[in-house]
């Protein structure tokens, strides 16, 4: 370890610069993480809507098939 004040000041300045770079990286990561969480929430909503639509279409298809089977049964009588 050096006792040279100039060298210690240079090391301190470098450590502060490194800290500032790391702080900026952490801030950017946190912002990206928040954006990703927001996007994940939006995608979850779309998934719920898609699931609901699939259920609705499936129910309509079942009614159509059942209705067709009922109609064929009536015609067969």
Query: Maximum distance among all alpha carbons in the chain?
Result: 108
pLDDT of 15 above 90: yes
pLDDT bin (cut points 50, 70, 90) of residue 62 is confident
| Residue 28 banded pLDDT, cuts 50, 70, 90 | very high
Instruction: Look at residue 24 in the predicted model and tell me its pLDDT.
Output: 96
Percent of residues, the chain, with pLDDT higher than 90: 60
What pTM, to 2 d.p., does this model score? 0.51
Inter-residue contact 8 to 2 (CB < 8 Å): yes
């Amino acid at each position: 370890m050096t006792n040279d004040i100039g060298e210690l000041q240079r090391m301190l300045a470098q450590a502060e610069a490194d800290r500032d770079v790391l702080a900026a990286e952490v801030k950017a990561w946190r912002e990206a993480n928040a954006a990703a969480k927001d996007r994940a929430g939006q995608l979850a909503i779309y998934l719920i809507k898609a699931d609901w639509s699939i259920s609705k279409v499936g129910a309509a298809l079942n009614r159509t098939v059942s209705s067709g089977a009922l109609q064929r049964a009536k015609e067969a009588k």
